[in-house]
Structure formats: C-alpha cells, structure tokens
Amino acid sequence: MGLCDSVRGHRSRGGAAALVAAAGVLLLRLSLAQSVPPPTACPAAAAPGGLTQPEYQKTAKEDGSVGFMASLVQSFLRTVQPNPFPEDLILEIANNLKRQLNQEFTKELLVYEVGFLVCAAIGVLYIVLMPVTGFFLACCRCCGNCGGKMYQKQTPSLNCHRVTLYWTAFVTTVIILAGNICMFKSNEALKVSVEQSQEELNRTVENIQSFLSIVPQQIHYVVNESQGTVQNVSRNLDGIGPQLGNEIQDRFRGTVNPALHSVTMLDRETVNISLELNHLNSSVVQLQSSVNRLQANLTAVKNQINNTFSDPNCMLCKDLQPELQKLTLDTTITVPSLKEFQSAVDELNKTDLKSKIKEVKGFFDSIPPRVTNETKDIVQRTKQLLGNIETQISQVTKDLPLSKFTNVSEILNQLQRDIGRITPEVQRFEHIRWGVCVAVCSVVLLVVVCNFLGLVLGPLGLTPKANPSARSGTSDWGGTFLMIGAGFSFLFSWLFMIAVLLLFLVGGNVFTLLCQPWGDKQLLKFIDTPGLIPELNIGATLGLKSNISISGIYRDCKKNQPLWTTLHLYELINLDDLLNVTKYTDEIKQHFENTDISLSTINLLSPEVKNQLRSFSNKATKIDASAFMQQMNNISRINLNETANKLDQLAVFQTNSDSQNQLRKEARDLRQIQTDIDTIIMPQLENLNSSIQSLGSTAEKINGTIQEVLSNVGAAQDFLNTNTTQIVKTESRTFLDCQLGYFINYVDWANVTITQQVGRCGPVAGAVDSIEIILCSYIVESLVRVAYVHLHLYTVQNN
C-alpha cells in the first residue's frame, strides 16, 4: 500500500539533535492548528468524442450563370418578360382550377404574357410567310422570271447597286455562319449539360441520403454516451473501496507518516544500541579473559623471582624485594553504569515496536476493504438508480421523429433506383436529340456553303464589259448555288421555326416563372403562401404546435443550422426535462448521507509504552565511563620493563651462575608479559573505550529521537481522534460529487450537442441549390439558349 511505501521511503532526521526534533514538532503542531486539508480534485473523465460528420460529395455551386451566352439570353428574356413574379395570377389559377376562368383574369394573363405573345406572333408570321414566299419564288422561277430580266439597262448607279447587294449578301452569310457556329456549340453545350445533370443529381441524392442516415446515428451516439457515463460511474462504485479508501489514507498520511517514521527510526536505533551493547559485553569478556591470563603469568613469574630472592646465593637480592609489590594487574574490568543501561534497553525491547508499527499499518491497510464492505448496500441501490437515469435519457430517441428520416431515405432510395432505370432512356433520347440538332445545324451550314460558293463563283465568271446574256458557266454555277441556298432556306426554315418557337415559349416561361423566382428565393416564399398547397404542413407532419415555412427551413439550412432550431424540435421534446437527472442524484446523495462508514479508533502507542520510552530516555543519559577510564589508566601505567632492567643489573653482580641465569630468565619473562600487555591488552582497552564512547554518543542522541516520537505520536493521535470522522465524511462527499459531476458534464455536453451540432442541415440547402442548377442552369437555360440562337439565326437568314 501507499502508506507502507511512504513509511519505507521517507527519510527524516530521527537521529538529529533534540533542537531539530523540537523544531519539527513545532511545525507539525502549526500544521495541525490549520483546518483539515482540502480534498483532492476529481480525476477527469474521458471527454466524449466529436460527432461523426459524413463526407459530402462536392456539388455544383450557384454562380448566376452556366454556359456561354447565358447573360445575353437572360437579358433577352427579361426584355421579353419584364413583369415581376405573378403571385396573384398563380394563386387565382390555383383557386379556380375547378371553375371556369373569367374574361378579366384571361385579360390579365394575356397582358402578363404580352412579350411572349409578340414573339409568338412574329414566329407564326414567319412560319406562314416563309412557305408562301417560297411558293411564289418557285413559281416565278418556273416561269423564267426569277431574278429579273436577263438584260438590264446600263446606268451609272448599276455597278454601285450590284456591289451593295453583293456585300449585303456576304455580310448576311457571315452572320449566318457565326450563328451556325453558335448552334453547334449550343447543341454540344446542351449535351454536356444533360450529362452533368445526371451526375449532379446522383451526387445530390447521395448527399441527402448521407445526411438522413447520419442524423439518427448522431442522436444514438449522444444517447450511447450516457451508457458510457453510467458504466464509468458503475466501475467507480465497484471500486469504491480502493478509490475512497486510498483517499482517506492520503488524508491521514501527512500526520501519521511522520509518527510512524519516527517510531521506525527509534526501533532501528534500539536495534543498533542492542547490537552495540552485545559487542561491548563481548569485548569486556574478552578483555577480562586476557587480563586474567596475563595476571596468572605475572603471578607465576613473581613467585619465581621471590624464590630466587630467597636463595642465599643470590647477592643483594634482598634490596629488590620491594619491587615485587609492583608486579600486579587490576583483575576486574567493569563499566558500573552499563548494567543499568542494559536493563533499560531490555525493557525497551520488550515493547516490541515492530509489532506496533505492523499493527498501525494493518489498520490503514484495512481501510479500503472496510469501505467496500460498509458501502455494499448503497452501491447496489445507486447502480439501480443509474439504470433509471440511463432509461430516462434513452427516451430522447423515442421522442424525436427519427422514423421520418427513414421514410424519406426510403423514398430517396426509390428515386435513385428510378434514376438508374431511366438514365439509359434519357441518354438514348439525348443521343437522338443531339443527332437531330446536328442535322439541323448541318442544313444551315449547307445554306452557308451554298451562299459562299455563289458569292465566290459569281464574280469569278463575270466580265465587266460582257453582256449579261453572254455570262460564263462559272457565273451560272454561282447563281445556281445562291438559288440552292435560298431554296433550302424557304424549304426548311419554317419547319425549324415551329420547333424553335415551341422551345422558346415553353423554356422562356419556365425560366421566368420558375427559375428566376427560384434564384432570388421568391419561389420558396410563394410556396409558403397559406392554402397554396393544402397538404404542405410540415409542422403538423412532425407533430409540432406551429407550422414551419419552406423558406425558413432553407434560410436556416443555408446557415448550416442544426435541426433542433430549424425544425423547432424544442416544441416536440422537452430536452431539459429528459436530461434532468436531479431527482436521481438527490436520492443518491441522500443514500450516501445516511450511510455511516465507521473507522475504529487505534492507539498508536499505549501509555505503558510511552512510559517505557520516557524511562529509557532518562536512563540513556547515565552511561558513566570514568571508572573504566581509571581502570584503563591503571593498566597503562604498568611498566614491567623497569623491574626487568633491575633484575638484569642484579644478575651482573652475581657470582653464582645459577642465580645469575635465573634472574636473567625472570627478566625476560617480565619483558614478555609487558609485551603482551602492550600488544594484546592495550588494543582491547582502546577498542572497548571506543565502543563505550560510541554507545554514549548514541545514548545521547536517542533521547532526542524519543522526544520526537512522543511528540509526533501525540500529534498524530490527537489528529486521528479529532478528525477521523470528518475526514471520512468529507472524502465520501467528495467521491460522490465526483461521480455525480460526470453526469452533470455529460448532460451539459448532450444538451449543447443536440441543440447546436446534431443534424446541421447545410446539405439540404445545398441540395435545393443543386436541383436549381440542374433544372434551370443545365436544362432550361440550355434549351432557351438553343431556341434563342435558332430564332435569331432564322430571322437574319431570311431577311
């Protein structure tokens, strides 16, 4: 556990001086004087991911014109039809479909269509006059009078008249050629427009399909995130023991850890002192053994010397008899206060600080399991309430009309299938149309070719001074080509004019009545007119209290607004009520308030142990090494070499060789004993002295450690007795607030997501614009452009 790890890893100055310990205790007391430390912050929950947005295909953008000559054609149509959009006329037509229209309405309708009626009249006149004129021309040609008389009177203005006619015909032919080029180009542009319309329509339908499919997915995603929140909180509740228990432990560590650490350090120092004492006692025993052995040897030598001095043959030996009193060793090595100190250490070891430390750690390690056991019932009840929260939030998918999106999607699927089925027919029809238009354009091109051949061959075969009746074959061919061109014009142009007039009247009216108001958004506002389309009531279809206008939907979708505001879904579903989980959270809070997590009180150190520590502290300062130092000084002052030297000097005066040898032998024995004292006893004395000094130093320091232990343990015990209940309640409340905070964050996110991000309907407005471009720019304007070019071409050609 973290507490044990903290105890093991902490490094304090338990063995510092008493002043440092007192300073540490003062700081601890100041910290306890403050309020209970604030609870830790909640761990951040995983934020919900962003909504998945589909990849919409790019569609044509509305730029006001598609294709060449669009501006010229639109300008001509506005000239033909300068009147504004006839809302009143259309409403009157819609209201009188089953009744006979009166004359006044017919007059208004004719006045509105006067521009197209004038064009139609000109077209009809053209259609009638062109075959009649061609008939008379053919009759005149058959009578031989076509082109006037062969011989013309030569006048000064005749040549100027011919030149004027020639260049007029040439300029007219050039204009027809330019118009014919426009015919070819318009025909090809119409073909391209039809092909683009098919592709654009497929892309538009696919974009709407993607939009319709993503909206339910986004709603389900938001609702499913509630399941993730519930599961996250459920996991935290299942792990309430480790989570809440660890938080409670962390609140205790700041105060309890110093106390445990100081006790641990005291235990370590106690063990060290015991080891030092054992080493010291062993050294004393070893030193005493060495002293006893040397004392025995010295006594034996002393007895030998005494025997030698008693020998009558030993001369002057009586004079050295007093030296025998110096031949002695202090046979007892003792430290008088060590026994009392040993008794104090033995009493401290009986307190068994290790088991007490283990007991305290076990108490804190048992906090998580105890929290788990005592919150088992409340966790089960809370998880049941979490299930109720999940069920309430899931109601969003039931209240929103998601089935409408499925129905529209099925309609679009059928539309796509229909488009796929009729596309080959449309392509086949377009191929036929393109071939017919190419044939018509080729006829016009043939007229242009005949005119150019006539204009070129006629002057080449003409001699200025020759009689016209005597003209060459080249000139005849030139005239024949001109007549062929005129014949084709009279033969086919009135037929072509019928088709052109119909295309112009239909396409022009569609453009002015549909495309033009669609482009400036008047058509959408007109569709919203009450009663115009009785079945069109989007609000009632969705079950709303108010109606929704088409123009309003388009306007909001153009801004890429969410469906929540675009379709007024706030009238259909009370999102605040569905996402309001207060009644459940309040009940959960009440359950937690009624749950009491009790932690039994623990005594870090019993009064008996504290008394033993104080007693040890008093005895630890009474180690007196002065008696030992006196013993050590007594041994160090022994010098057997002096006596040995005197024995050698006495041996010189001896006449008896035995006495002489005996004295010298005894002198050597004394020197050997002195050597043993210097090499064996003195190092052991110094080692023992060092151990005594070290033990004394440790004894002095352990007093500060004990004072620190008593202060830290007392402070920690006061903290536990005073704040344990409050800490448990505070941490429990913090844990609960963290879990409920996850729901608050989810509710805020879900509210913002549903009301501001779900179903951004920009693709819907894009589809409306795309259909406008397909219908108006690609098809209607192309047809009107073809009709416009043919109309003006035939007018110029036959003038």
pLDDT tens figures, 578-612: 887 787 888 888 877 777 676 666 777 777 777 77
Q: What is the DSSP letter of 656?
A: S
Contact 327, 298 (CB under 8 A): yes
> Distance of CA 141 to CAs 13, 147, 462, 480, Å?
135, 8, 22, 12
Listed residue (299, 296, 301, 298) closest to 662, CA to CA:
301
- How far apart CA 460 and CA 464 sit, in angstroms, is 11
Percentage of residues of the chain with pLDDT beyond 90: 0
Residue with tokens 């149509």: 77
Give 615's pLDDT tier (boundaries 50, 70, 90): confident
Q: Are 657 and 289 in contact (CB under 8 A)?
A: no
Residue 11's pLDDT is what? 33
Neighbours of 526 (CB within 10 A): 18
Query: What does the pLDDT look like over 299-357, one tens digit per residue?
Result: 888 888 888 878 777 877 777 777 777 777 655 666 656 666 777 777 777 777 777 77
Averaged pLDDT for residues 776-791: 68
Upper half-sphere CA count for residue 539 (Cβ side, 13 Å): 13
Residue 62 DSSP class? P
pLDDT at residue 634 is higher than 60:
yes
DSSP state of 545: S
Q: How high is the pLDDT of residue 64? A: 42
User: How far apart, in whole angstroms, are the C-alpha atoms of residue 660 and residue 637?
Assistant: 29
Q: State residue 181's pLDDT score.
A: 81
18, pLDDT greater than 60: no
Higher-confidence position of 318 and 128: 128
Q: Are 165 and 173 in contact (CB under 8 A)?
A: no
pLDDT at 27: 32
Spatial contact of 701 and 15, defined as CB atoms under 8 Å apart: yes
Q: Which two tokens stand for residue 525?
A: 């506002």
Q: Containing H/E element for 52?
A: none
What digits encode the pLDDT tens for the residues 144-178?
Answer: 665 545 555 666 676 787 778 788 888 888 887 87
Question: Between these two residues, 393 and 463, which has the higher pLDDT value?
Answer: 393
Find out whether 451 and 482 touch, Cβ atoms under 8 Å. Answer: yes
Average pLDDT for 650-670: 82
Phi-psi region of 207 (alpha: psi -120 to 50; beta: other; left: phi over 0): alpha
What sections of 239-314 are H helices per DSSP?
A: 240-310
Res. 668: pLDDT tops 80: yes
Tell me the per-residue pLDDT of 244-262, one tens digit each, with 9 for 90 and over. 788 887 887 777 888 888 8
Q: What region does 762 belong to: left with phi over 0, alpha with psi -120 to 50, or beta?
A: alpha
CA dist 479 and 459 (Å) reads 10
Looking at residue 743, its pLDDT comes to 81
Q: Quickly state the pLDDT bin for 25 (edges 50, 70, 90).
A: very low
Residue 13 has a pLDDT of 34
Q: What's the whole-number mean pLDDT along residues 690-697?
A: 76
* Letter string b/e over residues 9-30, b meaning 16 or more CB atoms within 10 A of that residue's CB: ebebebbbeeeebeebbeebee
- The answer to whether the beta carbons of residues 568 and 546 sit under 8 Å apart is yes
| CA angle, 491 then 495 then 496, to 5° | 110
Task: Determine the Cα–Cα distance for residues 556 and 721; give it in Å rounded to an integer.
Answer: 65
CA torsion 276→282→284→287, rounded to 10°?
A: -130
Number of Cβ within 10 Å of residue 43's Cβ equals: 8
CA dihedral for 491, 493, 499, 502, sign (positive or negative): negative
**Is 148 in contact with 165 (CB distance < 8 Å)?**
no
3-state secondary structure of 394: coil
Read off the pLDDT band of 560 (50, 70, 90). Answer: confident
Span 504-523, mean pLDDT?
A: 82
Distance CA 237, CA 242 (A): 10
What per-residue confidence (pLDDT) applies to 69? 64
- DSSP letter (8 states) at residue 469: G
Task: Report the C-alpha gap between 491 and 131 in whole angstroms.
Answer: 7
> Which one, of 768, 779, 776, 772, lies nearest residue 208 by Cα?
768
Mean local confidence (pLDDT), 629-652: 77
For 389-393, 425-429, 454-458, 793-797, which range has the lowest pLDDT when averaged over its residues? 793-797
Nearest to 516 by CA among 764, 772, 766: 772
Q: How many of the other CB atoms lie within 10 Å of CB of 522?
A: 15
Mean pLDDT of the chain: 75
SS (H, E, C) 481-540: HHHHHHHHHHHHHHHHHHHHHHHHHHHHHHHHHHHHHHHCCHHHHHHCCCCCCCCCCHHH
31-80 pLDDT tens trace = 333 334 444 556 655 556 667 777 787 776 544 444 556 677 777 778 88
- Separation between Cα atoms, residue 124 and residue 108, nearest integer Å: 22
Q: Give the angle subtended at the CA of 747 by the CAs of 741 and 750, to the nearest 5°.
A: 140
**Side-chain half-sphere of 49: how many Cα atoms within 13 Å?**
7
**Burial class of residue 398 in the structure, from the number of CB atoms within 10 Å of its CB (0-12 exposed, 13-18 middle, 19+ buried):** exposed
Percent of the chain with pLDDT over 70: 79
Integer Cα distance of 442 and 492 in angstroms: 12
Judge contact between 295 and 329, C-beta under 8 A. yes
Distance CA 542, CA 563 (A): 12
